Amino acid sequence: MGKKDKKKGKGAEKTALKTERKTLNRLKKELAAKGEDDIEKLISDYQEKHKTDVIGEELCPQPSPRSGFSLCPHPDKDELVLFGGEYYNGRVTTMFNDIHFYNIKKGQWSILHTPVKPPPRCAHQAVVLSQKGGQLWVFGGEFIGPSRSVFYHYKDFWVFHFAEKRWEEIKAPGAPPSRSGHRMVARRKQIVIFGGFRETVQDYKYYNDLYVFDLDTYTWNKIEAVGKIPSFRSGCLFAPLVDGRMLLYGGYTKEKVKKDVDKGISHTDMYYLQVDEKSVPHKWKWNQVKPSGIPPSIRCGISMAVAPNNLAYCFGGVYDDDDVDEEDLISLFHNDLYVLEMEKGRWLPVTLHGKSSRTTRKKRRKVRDDDMEEDYEESEKVAESLEKAKLDDSNKVVIKTDDVFTVKIGPSTSAIPESSACALSSTSEAFSPKGRMGAGMAVKSGILYLYGGIFEDEERQVTLSDFYALDTHKLDEWRTIVPFSTRNLDWFESESEDSSSESDDSSGDDGMESE
């Protein structure tokens, strides 16, 4: 009996392997038909097509709409540095590897042409350092095929030398495996990388590992930290403190519920990573702490910019309600601003001068009429609760932090039904940028800058190129540098959607004829 069961198990295993092999072969044929069966060749062809012998910087229009790029403050000049990103128009994905500079005083963009530069990518990480005339370090990221059917994850490491205006690839042994969605910070003479994920045609993998690059010896080390280690995740908030510690918050993980069914998890936990530099070798330890204050509602895709005095500003993000059918999936895009006091692990919502306004609630798919009616009634209840709470001055608390800015905490959340916490957010009557995820943010000379990102309008994924600035000392209102506009945004229905529509139309015609 045992032998028969064993043979039966092997037979089932062989059948599963054969099915998987057939699926992979079918996918390869589909990719070959699209010309995407060799993604490394796609990247090489892109590099060759955009190869240039021209070296120099020239003024240019603002960068095209994009997401998944990096936006960093120049370490020495009043400039912002933008690198890479992607743009999707519904049918074709365009990848970028250009480097732009924004001159803050002149309000001008320029682009730098160099013969050597990293391949195009998005979802990478970048940090700036003042050493050796200023440096921009870039690790990992991904290249997405034109039809979004294939992905290539990088594990290369590049440094841009500001003084010499040139890129250099750093090839050091022991580097982290290829990934995107990871997080990277600079602390003292080290660059620290945590987490991320890697995706293939048939599977994906998330990380919670820790790597450190020594800026003196140019060597990588994988760190075996102790303590309460964060779970596997990508897209978390990870920032350095003045005292050498690092703070980690949130992130996103996708896991398999059953075959061909995945479930996304948005994390809300917080950790400190500290280094005992007196020990040899140094000991790294994770400590989980409970966030205090008023943290953002559950979401992913938050943008963060680190400011002086252990402060970090966070904007936007998206929450997907996946408790409904996939066709009725609802997404809530936020446009609220929070400040995180990293030393205390305390969240504070930033209220600009003015009254409350609604966050942007968008639906990715159709929503039933009865659901819309329920949402409307619920929103009305929340609006009444907020209006009532606003009349009670005792519910308002003004907190002054480090004599740098004033943060006003809105009415107590007890006045708002918990079930409606995501329907409205306490923002200002003053203008606030559209809700979005994956925007670029940076702080330079006390000014918070916000550029681009993604939001969804009905069934369109809109990639942005609008540009804003907020004085973190005054916290009065967002200043528009480049307004939001749909003028240059192209969106094409996918071929599958077109064919589906045509099929629906033809079936509808047949139905009319039969009647």
Task: Give me the tens of pLDDT residue by residue for the chain, a chain 515 residues long.
Answer: 444 444 444 565 555 456 545 555 665 666 666 667 678 888 888 888 888 777 899 999 999 999 999 999 999 999 999 999 999 999 899 999 999 999 999 999 999 999 999 999 999 999 999 999 999 999 999 999 998 888 899 999 999 999 999 999 999 999 999 999 999 999 999 999 999 999 876 789 999 999 999 999 999 999 999 999 999 999 999 999 999 999 999 999 998 888 778 889 999 999 999 999 888 889 999 999 999 999 999 999 999 999 999 999 999 999 987 665 555 668 899 999 999 999 999 999 999 974 444 444 444 434 334 433 443 343 344 334 333 433 333 333 333 333 333 333 333 333 323 332 333 334 447 899 999 999 999 999 999 999 999 998 877 889 999 999 999 999 999 999 999 987 767 788 755 444 444 444 444 343 333 33
Tokens linked to 122:
């998005």
Tokens 């992130």, located at residue: 251
Q: Edge to edge, what strands does the sheet with 246-258 contain?
A: 226-227, 283-289, 261-276, 246-258, 237-240
Helix intervals (H) in 306-460: 369-390
Residue tagged 């997907």 (tokens): 320
**Residues 6+ away with beta carbon under 8 Å from 90:** 460, 461, 490, 491, 492, 493, 494
CB 389 within 8 A of CB 449: no
The type of residue at 102 is: Y
The reported pLDDT for the residue numbered 326 is 53
Environment class of residue 144 by beta-carbon count within 10 Å: exposed (0-12), middle (13-18) or buried (19+)? buried
Alpha helical stretches, state H, 50-179: none
Distances (CA, A) of 200 to 92, 143, 512: 19, 12, 45
Task: Please give the Cα distance from 46 to 487 (Å, whole number).
Answer: 27
Measured CA to CA, the distance from residue 402 to residue 309 in angstroms comes to 8
Q: Are 219 and 207 in contact (CB under 8 A)?
A: no
Amino acid found at 123: A
d(CA 137, CA 132): 13
- CA torsion 148-151-153-154 (nearest 10°) is -70
What span, in angstroms and rounded, lies between the C-alpha atoms of 329 and 324?
6
Distances (CA, A) of 227 to 230, 243, 270, 272: 9, 19, 13, 10
The residue type found at 344 is K
Q: Which among 347, 229, 372 is positioned nearest to 287, based on CA atoms?
A: 229
Summary count for the chain: helices (H), strands (E): 4, 36
CA 430 to chain centre: 26
Q: Which residues contact 117 (CB under 8 A, 6 or more apart)?
A: 97, 99, 167
3-state secondary structure of 114: coil
Which residue has 């997405």 as its token pair?
144
pTM here is 0.78
Element (H, E) at 165: none
